[in-house]
């Protein structure tokens, strides 16, 4: 891949621990595959528990002097990092497309999105305010100050290999924490390239270590059990998130969990069918259906159902599935062959129970890991596509009659991350937005993500919020100080 990059030194394959590029103690490496071609594009150091412990210990040493700097001084380093990321968008996007599969346009978008968290929190770190308050004894005053939680461990997913790091380490570093981060084994190169740029920006050694590994357990166990780690932040599946939360309870770590979703898109009769279909498609097929906030269940009121399906078919008809490096491709492959098989088994389950394939339905054509964007009609609540996160380019379209039924269907899941609705009725906008149990709601809009918003879910979609002015809270402790004897 080096020959594709303007700056080949961004392609790092060792771990980055305490400011140095290192191999694993065992010498073990693991292969990284291009999902479009299945080629091995790199061999990366496979880190274990001992190296992870050293990274955590280095973070503890680095964190205190970093926290002692002014927010302005920390901000200057983060701004430099942001600038370097933006100067290298093209190379970083190529690295991402090669290992993740998303098309170049989406990769470029993610790199800019990733940088925006660094820029945002470089400023937000300057606005960590406290409070002064009266106390029952008049001769005393209470003060609340906010301090960094300390050493943070992070585990991030393969679907957004850069932005999910910066959404976590942006606020952590800005307020004075240090971080040890583990990338997904499918996509370690994007995070390692960002670490290279952090190093060039002058981030002091130990403040951000990156520990890639083929085996998640020894790294995760060390992160969750080591008492130096005061906070653990994870983006990934609900199943793994629950296990990690339980492990962190042993040492009472703070946790932030950004977990699975089962997003409904509710389209009411009064919506514009073409706009609703374009919005639903933008959410459903983003990153080939591989985001936690992708439309998972499209719920359409009976009066508009057929028109909506026709409009969605038109949108999908304009897609071109192919290698993300080809600028004419609109959508890339899914991450692994196993992912393709899992998605296919959900479609098979639906079809066996009477669903109709209204578009797509081809798996593995034109490339082992390619799925044609698929639309399923005649679907019911008993099918797996209603209950499970599909995480692929398959859109099941359910029918409903009334607003109450739509709200009940939307809430009929253990997940509560993002939901969307299309309506022109203001009263309905409020009733439904308040009636559905989700952390984020898009009304007549499905592209809701940005640095400005508090991203996060309720129920089994997790806890904590990332991004926005709230995004620093998860990395801060409140300390109460009582100043007494003020009469004397
Ligand atoms: C995710 O899938 O977890 C992140 C999506 C986003 O930030 O928009």
Averages of pLDDT over runs of 10 residues in the chain (488 residues) are 96 98 98 98 98 98 98 98 98 98 98 98 98 95 98 98 98 98 98 98 98 98 98 98 98 98 98 98 98 98 98 98 98 98 98 98 96 98 98 98 98 98 98 98 98 98 97 98 95
Q: What is the pLDDT of residue 97?
A: 98
CA distance 168 to 103: 24
H or E element that contains 279? helix 273-284
CA distance 294 to 284: 5
DSSP-derived 3-state class of residue 478: strand
Nearest one of 393, 357, 373, 275 to 318, comparing CA atoms = 373
Q: What is the pLDDT of residue 488?
A: 87
Please count the CA atoms within 13 angstroms of the CA of 296 that sit on its side-chain side: 31
Do residues 129 and 473 touch, judged by C-beta distance below 8 A?
no
- Give me ligand 1 centre to Cα 236, in Å: 10
Nearest one of 48, 73, 241 to 157, comparing CA atoms = 241
CA distance 172 to 207: 10
| Ligand 1 nearest atom to the CA of residue 294, by list position | 2
Which residue puts its alpha carbon closest to atom 5 of ligand 1?
291
* Residue to substitute in 292, 296, 418 for testing ligand 1 pocket (most ligand atoms within 8 angstroms of CB): 292
Query: For residue range 191-224, what is the model confidence (pLDDT) as tens digits?
Result: 999 999 999 999 999 999 999 999 999 999 999 9
| CA triple 264-281-466, angle to 5 deg | 60
Which residue puts its alpha carbon closest to atom 7 of ligand 1?
449
Nearest one of 429, 454, 427, 432 to 444, comparing CA atoms = 429
- Give me ligand 1 centre to Cα 446, in Å: 12
| Ligand 1 nearest atom to the CA of residue 449, by list position | 8
Q: What is the pLDDT of residue 1?
A: 85
Which residue puts its alpha carbon closest to atom 8 of ligand 1?
449
DSSP-derived 3-state class of residue 390: coil
Ligand 1 surroundings by CB, under 6 angstroms: 159-160, 163, 235, 258, 291-293, 449
Which residue puts its alpha carbon closest to atom 3 of ligand 1?
292
Which two structure tokens, joined as six digits, stand for 402? 């009334």
Do residues 431 and 403 touch, judged by C-beta distance below 8 A?
yes
Please count the CA atoms within 13 angstroms of the CA of 211 that sit on its side-chain side: 33
pTM of the model: 0.97
Q: What is the dihedral of CA 152, 158, 160, 165, to 10 degrees?
A: 20
- Give me ligand 1 centre to Cα 485, in Å: 51
| Ligand 1 nearest atom to the CA of residue 448, by list position | 8
Query: Measured between alpha carbons, how far is residue 12 from residues 20, 42, 89, 168 in Å?
Result: 12, 9, 16, 21
| Ligand 1 nearest atom to the CA of residue 287, by list position | 2
CA distance 203 to 81: 8
Distance of CA 274 to the CA centre of its chain: 29
CA distance 456 to 471: 10
DSSP alpha helix (H) spans, 88-139: 89-100, 104-124
- Give me ligand 1 centre to Cα 37, in Å: 25
> Which entry of 99, 110, 222, 258 is annotated as an active-site residue?
258
- Number of CB atoms found within 10 A of residue 233's CB: 28
- Give me ligand 1 centre to Cα 69, in Å: 32
The answer to whether 460 is a known catalytic residue is: no
Task: Go through the domains of the chain in sequence order and give each one's CATH number.
Answer: 2-260+461-479 (3.40.605.10), 263-412+418-452 (3.40.309.10)
- Give me ligand 1 centre to Cα 160, in Å: 7
Task: Please give the radius of gyration of the chain, using alpha carbons only, rounded to the nearest integer.
Answer: 23
> Which entry of 177, 224, 292, 294 is annotated as an active-site residue?
292
* Residue to substitute in 262, 418, 449, 465 for testing ligand 1 pocket (most ligand atoms within 8 angstroms of CB): 449
Nearest one of 248, 219, 212, 218 to 232, comparing CA atoms = 248
* Residue to substitute in 164, 165, 442 for testing ligand 1 pocket (most ligand atoms within 8 angstroms of CB): 164
The answer to whether 292 is a known catalytic residue is: yes
* Residue to substitute in 159, 167, 241 for testing ligand 1 pocket (most ligand atoms within 8 angstroms of CB): 159
């Amino acid at each position: 891949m080096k020959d594709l990059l303007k700056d080949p030194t961004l392609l790092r394959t060792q771990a980055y621990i305490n400011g140095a590029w290192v191999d694993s103690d065992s010498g073990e490496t693991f292969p990284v595959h291009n999902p479009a071609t299945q080629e091995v594009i790199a061999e990366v150091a496979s880190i274990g528990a001992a190296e992870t412990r050293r990274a955590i210990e280095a973070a503890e040493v680095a964190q205190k002097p970093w926290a002692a700097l002014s927010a302005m001084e920390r901000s200057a380093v983060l701004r430099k990092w942001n600038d370097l990321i933006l100067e290298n968008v093209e190379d970083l996007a190529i690295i991402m497309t090669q290992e993740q599969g998303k098309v170049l346009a989406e990769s470029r978008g993610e790199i800019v999105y990733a940088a925006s968290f660094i820029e945002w929190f470089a400023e937000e770190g300057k606005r960590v305010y406290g409070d002064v308050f009266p106390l029952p004894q008049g001769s005393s005053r209470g003060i609340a100050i906010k301090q960094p939680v300390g050493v943070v461990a992070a585990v991030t997913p393969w679907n957004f290999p850069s932005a999910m790091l910066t959404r976590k380490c942006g606020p952590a570093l800005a307020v004075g924490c240090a971080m040890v981060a583990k990338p997904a084994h499918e996509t370690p190169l994007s995070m390692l390239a960002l670490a290279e740029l952090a190093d060039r920006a002058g981030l002091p050694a130990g403040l951000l270590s990156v520990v890639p590994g083929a085996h998640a357990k020894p790294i995760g166990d060390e992160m969750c059990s080591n008492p130096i780690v005061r906070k653990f932040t994870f983006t990934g599946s609900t199943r793994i998130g629950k296990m990690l939360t339980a492990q962190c309870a042993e040492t009472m770590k703070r946790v932030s969990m950004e977990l699975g979703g089962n997003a409904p898109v509710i389209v009411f009769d009064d919506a514009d069918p073409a706009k609703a279909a374009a919005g639903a498609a933008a959410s459903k097929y983003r990153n080939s259906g591989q985001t936690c906030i992708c439309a998972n269940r499209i719920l359409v009121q009976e009066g508009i159902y057929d028109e909506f399906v026709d409009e969605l078919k038109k949108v999908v008809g304009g897609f071109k599935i192919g290698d993300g490096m080809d600028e004419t491709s609109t959508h890339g492959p899914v991450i692994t062959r196993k992912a393709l098989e899992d998605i296919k088994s959900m479609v098979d389950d639906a079809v066996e129970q009477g669903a109709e394939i209204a578009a797509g339905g081809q798996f593995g054509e034109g490339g082992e890991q390619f799925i044609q964007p698929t639309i399923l009609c005649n679907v019911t609540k008993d099918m797996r596509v209603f209950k499970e996160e599909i995480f692929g380019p398959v859109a099941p379209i359910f029918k409903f009659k009334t607003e109450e039924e739509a709200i009940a269907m939307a809430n009929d899941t253990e997940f509560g991350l993002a939901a969307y609705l299309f309506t022109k009725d203001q009263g309905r906008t409020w009733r439904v937005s308040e009636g559905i149990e989700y952390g984020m709601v898009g009304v007549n809009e499905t592209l809701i993500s940005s640095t400005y918003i508090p991203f996060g879910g309720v129920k089994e979609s997790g806890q904590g919020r990332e991004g926005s002015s709230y995004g620093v809270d998860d990395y801060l402790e409140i300390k109460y100080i009582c100043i007494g004897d003020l009469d004397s």
